[in-house]
Structure 1
Amino acid sequence: MKPTPETTTNSTQRARAIIMRAVEPQDHIAHALIESQGVEKTAHILSGREKLTSHLTEELIGDTTLEPEQFFKQLTDRIERCGRKLSTYNPDHELHFAPKIGAWLCTPEDDDWPQSLNDFGYATPFALWGRGDRNRLNELKEARSLAVVGSRDISAYGRSATQHLAGELAQAGLTIVSGGAFGIDAVAHTSALATGTSQLPTVALMAGGLDSLYPKHNENLLHQVIEQGLILSEVPMGLAPTRWRFLQRNRLIAGLSRGTIIVEARWRSGALNTANHTLELGRTVYAVPGSIFSPSSEGCHRLLKDGLATVLTNAQDLIQEMTQSLPVQSSAFPEANLGDATDTLDSTERFVWDALPVRRTMSIEELSSTTSLPARTLMVTLSKLHAHSLASQDTATLQWKKKIPARTGTA
């Protein structure tokens, strides 16, 4: 009997889940097996349910300098290790547990698979676990996404620069991709959530299983990303982040984005690793210059000095560059003519209006943390914005949100 689309999808998901559990991301042998034998047979081989043959070994040996006997032994030993790892693993348990935490598995065979990840070849993820409304995957387009990454040890300058860049890019309808970590990552996600106007304001890539959000301190932020955006990981449930997995994760941040913005980065940092992946994909790295005395800007200055990055000091320049060649994208909010309504705002009023969220309300304390402005200044500014019909307050919670002006006609 010919399998139905549902049973085909389920069997593919099961096979992909087995492969993800058996090997680490970017495992070339597993990719070679998939290419020559298909996904389900590869899962059977790695789990020991199907034996290797000499013919298969010849197909996989490729350009290696090893003798066939040596290669066969190494491959056999490796598959034995995978078999031991999988001896107590049941993919059905993981696939049935996932919906309980709102998680789902997306495979390269699915229609909503992010096609830009296929540019990695043998480094393409075997599959992606995700949390958030899966329909938003259809909004995850490389052409409309920008990575914003940088130092965990963020400076006041780095915070302001990230709020400006990520906030204005998200307000222009672009998706901000980052890693959910402390520092630049967290500010980039927060700014995108506060000002984003697209159906997918931000995406966070994790280095561990999505059943436990990391870092724990950012758990509230990551839950907000789940509510309004997406979090993704190529790591199975229950596995903790490791240094190696963070480095592997960085290539996905680059792969899902048209370009990568480095706000602050030390001489040796994960952000520079993401920049390298971006360059390998033939995409643009943008670096924000900082103080010549700041160790947090040494990595950015190094990229600029070596001609590997384009200097970025203004979000509007990048928005113009990004949007000139982009097709029209659906917005989460009605189109608005903001010129007349916001041109009269002073710098503080505009800064607070930019920081206000559009989908949810924000408390004075949260807004103060985002803008670094004192509560008294915020209360006065919000009152002025309310008078201009640019902000509204929930009378029950006393929290605030952005109000988009109605579109005005032209004479």
Structure 2
Amino acid sequence: MNSTYQTRGGGLGVAEGETMDDVRIARAALSRLFEPMDGVGTALVEVLGPVEALRIAVGEVAPPAAMTAVTAGTEGAHRGPGQHGSARQEASASLQTALERWRPRVAHLAPERDLETIARFGGRLVIPEDGEWPEGLSDLGTDAPLCLWVRGEEPLPDTRKSVAIVGSRDATGYGLSVAGELAKGLADRGITVVSGGAYGIDGQAHRGALASAGRSLPTVAVMAGGADRYYPSGHEDLLREVARRGLVVSEVPPGSAPTKHRFLKRNRLIAALSSATVVVEARWRSGALSTARRAADLGRNVAAVPGSVYSANSAGCHALLRNGATCVVDEKEVYELLAPAGEGLVEDPQGPPAPHDGLSLVDLAVLEALPMRRGAEVERLAVVAGLSEAEVRAGLGRLALEALCERTDEGWRRAKRG
């Protein structure tokens, strides 16, 4: 086992005798060999680094040595002196099962070809060893992706300046309108909108961000399949524009199919790439809720847009709000969630001032006792207001200073306001 990876942790860095190209090719191959969130594969990379992990996974290195290394690195710290034997047996069985699982794909590995394919589409492979690797992905721990296949020219955005906008595919007109306005408003403020490229809320979030004239990266679409294919096909033109002006991202290599389980696993990337997740519309079992749960698990802000209590499309949003999500209705309130402390705060909406604003209870009682047209004497006002005559006189003096009352030949009345 190479000590460089052992000391740095997470399988990061370039070991002695390796190059960045070696590491990049290894991660490209592993992304085709392993399914996303493969626990055993992640453990190999964590302990041994991607180059050595690949040699083991394809059978170039005998498993027994690898089993000992993985056991020492992942199990030893959690077991007592008498438990190491059983730990090694468990690791051995787990790795052996994984090797059997990976074997059918070994003959199909062609990482150089995959790298050429993504380059042909104007993209690249970004790995954790690169400077542009988003720090937010490290919060996923062992669920972090091995690499990201990126289509587009811009660097990956800063997690702190990114917001996920997600929701139902069968969105209502209300949801589409809100999603578009939120996305455009955030993009205008220099925030990157992250979503999944699907029909409904996702697509509208991308459109809204692309409608912005801001100079920052407008939007990122995280795919469940390969970045070389636009899915769904009905969004080909939209995703093509996202790739041209923003980024299309995937953790699986070119040509990979967008299967159901990959959609579910993809949601964690949307959450991790963003400092806040906003759910615009979601039914009870919407996939958008899994993104929100992932964001909450990562300690990120989760917000939801309220909808009609009669709309099934907002039932999931209302459940999130009931369980502690932040209620947001415009981009200002979303921006407040990720702005530095004390910045971007939204002022409470205020209507036009009313004549009685700021009055004490006594003065308010006097004001309400005043007639609108014909005047009334202090004695009569005291009866109506339920105050002493002295309190009424003092109140009238204060109201007169505010131009809220006036003296006439018939007595006191409310002042006429233009």
TM-score, normalised to structure 1, is 0.74
| 1:99-133 deviation line (CA, Å, top 9, x unaligned) | 11112100000111111101111011000000010
**Alignment CA distance shift 1:57-1:174 (3 Å):** closer
Q: Which amino acid aligns with 2:92?
A: F
For residue 80 of structure 1, the aligned residue among 84, 100, 103 is 100
Contact 2:179–2:201 (CA under 8 A) maintained in structure 1: yes
1:113 matched residue in structure 2: 133
For residue 126 of structure 1, the aligned residue among 146, 156, 169 is 146
The answer on 1:312 being equivalent to 2:323 is: no
Contact 1:175–1:198 (CA under 8 A) maintained in structure 2: no
After TM superposition, the structure 1 = structure 2 runs for residues 161-200 of structure 1, keeping only pairs within 5 Å, are 161-200=178-217
Moved more, 18-27 or 150-159: 18-27
SS at match of 2:265: helix
| 1:144-183 deviation line (CA, Å, top 9, x unaligned) | 1110000000101101111221111111111110000000
Higher RCO (Cα < 8 Å, 6 or more apart): 1
Structure number with greater Rg is 2
Superposed structure 1 runs of 4+ greater than 3 Å apart: 3-7, 63-71, 320-327
**Alignment CA distance shift 1:173-1:298 (3 Å):** same
Q: Percent identity?
A: 41
1:378 matched residue in structure 2: none
The answer on 1:288 being equivalent to 2:305 is: yes
Aligned residues: 321
Q: Which amino acid aligns with 1:240?
A: A
1:83: Cα distance to partner? 2.8
1:266 matched residue in structure 2: 283
The answer on 1:35 being equivalent to 2:42 is: no
For residue 136 of structure 1, the aligned residue among 135, 149, 155 is 155
After TM superposition, the structure 1 = structure 2 runs for residues 6-405 of structure 1, keeping only pairs within 5 Å, are 8-52=19-63, 53=65, 55-56=68-69, 58-59=71-72, 62=75, 68-133=88-153, 135-137=154-156, 140-307=157-324, 309-325=325-341
**Alignment CA distance shift 1:211-1:80 (3 Å):** same
TM-score, normalised to structure 2, is 0.73
Contact 2:146–2:251 (CA under 8 A) maintained in structure 1: yes
| 1:295-317 deviation line (CA, Å, top 9, x unaligned) | 0000000111122x011112223
RMSD across aligned positions (CA): 2.3
**Alignment CA distance shift 1:4-1:310 (3 Å):** closer
Contact 2:284–2:315 (CA under 8 A) maintained in structure 1: yes
Moved more, 309-318 or 202-211: 309-318
1:93: Cα distance to partner? 1.5
1:366 matched residue in structure 2: none
Moved more, 27-36 or 212-221: 27-36
Q: Distance in 1 between matches of 2:105 and 2:215?
A: 42
1:321: Cα distance to partner? 4.8
Q: Which amino acid aligns with 1:304?
A: L
Q: Which amino acid aligns with 2:334?
A: L
